[in-house]
Amino acid sequence: MRESETPRAEQPVRTVDASSAATSSADHQHRRERELHSLYATARSLTALVDVDTVLASIVRHARDLIGTDVTYLSVFDEGRTALTLRAVDGSLSPAFRSAHVPANTGVGGRVVQTQAAVWVKNYLADDSLVHDADFDRVLRAEGIMALLGVPLRKGQEVFGILYAADRIERPFGIDEVALLSAFADHAAVALQNARLYEESKRALADLRDAYATIERSEHMHDALTRVVLTGGGAGEVAELLAASLGGTVAIYDRDNQLVVNTSAADEQPSFPSKDLASTLEDSRRSGRCVTSTDSAGAHHTIAPILAGDAYLGLVVQSAPSHLFDAEQRALERAGQILALLTLKQNALVEAQERVRGELLADVITSLRPYSAELLARANSRGLPAGRVNAVVIVACEVIQPGALVRQLHTVAGEWPALVGLHQGKATMVLDTQDVNKATAAVHRSLRASLRAPVIVSAAAVQATHQSLQRPFEIASRCIKILRRLGIEDRAVSASQLGVYALAFDPDRGDDLQQFLTETLGPLLDYDAQRNSDLVQTLAAYFNNSTNLTKTSEALHVHLNTLVKRLNRISSVIGPDWQEPPRALPLQLAAQLSMLTRSEGKA
């Protein structure tokens, strides 16, 4: 404690009568009783379980009543213990004083921390022994404070704050005042810690209640999801349940990451995942658990995979501004398991239906016409008047399996009396249509829009002379092989549209094709066979590149001089006029057909 004044000089002895002494003793006794009563009442009121701000306001108010100073205030350390910030005040006049803060190593507060004891000064601004902060000095000057007493608030051996009593006149603080404020500060420190613990307990209790409510919601949702399975519900019902329970929007995607259902009001949803969430999807698939990612807009996307063993069946995405709790993530994972069960159930049903359709389709294609009454009845039960089938359509796509193509083909086949299924590993449809070319184009257009991938749709008309549909099926199959050999992966075509190329894909005209090739390319074919050369391939590449020497050499990966030598060799074998129009067209066609038939087995 700072000494207040120099020792006072001895004073003359004064005589006091008995009545004055008795009065003085009674006043002192009365003041002590009032202080003790106030301290007891203050301590008792501070034990009430209230929030921290209420406790702080109570501390400074009771301290001011107890000590009788102009101002009392309380400051606590910030998290880094670099400054003391005023948290509560009673009796101040200046608004700036209510938001004051001072560096921790300055002023009376710095001295209290240093000495771990109470410190007072009779004139703060005039005391040069303290480390002053200019900003805080201006605040005190505006408030008019001169005398200042600070006592520590302790938690164990650590000072976490300081309780101040201040007057606007210059004066010392007596020992009784210091002891009384220190005792009060000890009570206040305990009360403040209790208030903090009480707030922490309330937060923990609130968190516990929230967690319990979340668990209850998860249990209710799990029961609801189970009812969806038992009552034959689908992905739409699951998405609505998740959105109602977890909030935000819910989207469900299939194994090809194509949107199945979405609770958002948006008209269109892109294929998932987006580039910034692709790694999150991979983490979720690898772990089998929920993984959350935040996009550039701050939205949280929680992804749960739909898995059946090692088989990936799709995913569920819950999107919301806030993160899901652990219990909610487990609920989302259970929803993924429910969706896996629904998918397996649906797949089993589809596979059973496909087996029935596949068997019927095979019978329709391979059976001799006219069909038996039993086969006609089976076909009619599936909506197909088999006796009127006049086209066979085959669909092929490099990036989508035939089984998935069949599922998509089912969605577009309703426009005609048709039967769809797998035949010899190919997505096939037999139908009754008045215009084969128009039907082929319509199927391609619909599949292209739904698959969002290049697709070949090939059709062959059924002729009255065909004993079965196997021949049109083979013709349509060869169409696809030829288109791929030509580098075409996205086209709708019928056998009639390919014109002279029918020589290459009609299985009944193989002799005609061979005769045409022999008459046109016979010498070159013999030359290549005898010398293991590639003159026919060179001729085809030359025509395919519009007779451009540079492009042809690049396509064949040979030097330009080598190409010129080969072309000269062709001239010597079949004659120098082979590039003239009368010969060039059949040679170009024959060379291309030869390459097509050569690679047909590889298509």
β-strand partners of 316: 252, 304
Judging by DSSP bridges, how do beta strands 101-103 and 83-90 pair with one another?
A: antiparallel
107 with 136: CB under 8 angstroms? yes
d(CA 92, CA 87): 13
Q: Look at residue 268 and tell me whether its pLDDT is greater than 60.
A: no
Q: Which amino acid is at 538?
A: T
Amino acid (one-letter) located at 544: N
- Edge-to-edge strands, sheet with 456-461: 418-423, 426-431, 391-396, 456-461, 491-494
Q: Which residues is 491 bridged to in the sheet? A: 456
**Is pLDDT above 80 for 348?**
no
Beta-carbon count within 10 A of 395 CB: 28
Instruction: Give the confidence band of 14 by pLDDT, cuts at 50, 70, 90.
Output: very low
429, 442 Cβ separation under 8 angstroms = no
Residues 6+ positions from 312 with CB-CB distance below 8 Å: 255, 285, 305, 306
Cα–Cα distance, 89 to 107 (Å, whole number) = 18
* Mean pLDDT, all residues of the chain: 81
- List pLDDT tens digits, range 449-495: 888 889 999 999 998 888 899 999 998 998 888 778 767 789 898 88
Please, what sign has the CA dihedral across residues 315, 318, 323, 325?
negative
Question: Cα–Cα distance between 467 and 369 in angstroms, integer?
Answer: 6
- The residue ranking higher by pLDDT, 253 or 429, is 429
In this structure, are residues 457 and 440 in contact, taking their beta carbons and an 8 Å threshold?
yes
Q: Which amino acid, 126?
A: A
What is the per-residue burial (b if ≥16 Cβ within 10 Å, else e) of 568-584?
ebbeeebeeebeeeeee
Residue 167 pLDDT level (bands cut at 50, 70, 90): very high
Contact 564, 495 (CB under 8 A): no
Distance between CA atoms of residues 239 and 256, nearest Å? 18
Residues 6+ apart with CB under 8 A from 427: 394, 395, 396, 402, 403, 405, 406, 409, 420
Could you give the CA distance from residue 27 to residue 35 in angstroms, rounded to a whole number?
12
3-class SS of residue 81: coil
Q: Which letter does DSSP use for residue 578 in this model? A: T
H helices within 47-73, ranges in order? 52-67
Confidence band, pLDDT 50/70/90 cuts, at residue 197:
confident
**Residue 406 burial class via C-beta count within 10 angstroms: exposed 0-12, middle 13-18, buried 19 and up:** buried
pLDDT tens track for 29-79? 666 666 666 666 666 655 665 667 787 888 888 888 878 899 999 998 888
Tell the burial category of 591 from Cβ atoms under 10 Å away from its Cβ (0-12, 13-18, 19+): buried
Burial letters for 480-507: b for 16+ Cβ neighbours within 10 Å, e otherwise? bbbbbbeeebebbbbbebbeebbbbbbe
Sheet holding 291-294, edge to edge: 259-262, 249-254, 311-320, 300-308, 291-294
Interhelix angle 175-230/52-67, nearest 10 degrees: 170
Instruction: Tell me which H or E stretch contains 584.
Output: helix 581-599
pLDDT in tens, 387-423: 899 999 999 999 888 988 988 898 888 889 999 999 9
Specify the pLDDT at position 365: 93
State pTM to two decimals.
Answer: 0.42
Segment holding 555, helix H or strand E: helix 549-556
Which of 192-201, 294-303, 418-427 is modeled with the greatest confidence?
418-427
Element (H, E) at 534: none
Least-confidence region, from 136-145, 261-270, 275-284, 325-334? 261-270
Distance CA 355, CA 349 (A): 10
Structure token pair of residue 564: 């010129």
What's the half-sphere exposure (Cβ side, CA atoms, 13 Å) at 2? 22
CB 99 within 8 Å of CB 86: yes
- The H or E element that residue 517 is part of is helix 510-531
Tell me, what's the pLDDT at 433?
92
- In 175-299 the beta strands, taken as DSSP E runs, fall at 249-254, 259-262, 291-294
Specify whether the CB–CB gap between 266 and 319 falls below 8 A. no
- Which of 176-185, 205-214, 567-576 shows the lowest mean pLDDT across its residues? 205-214
What would the mean pLDDT of 514-526 be, rounded to a whole number? 85
Determine the length of the chain.
Answer: 603
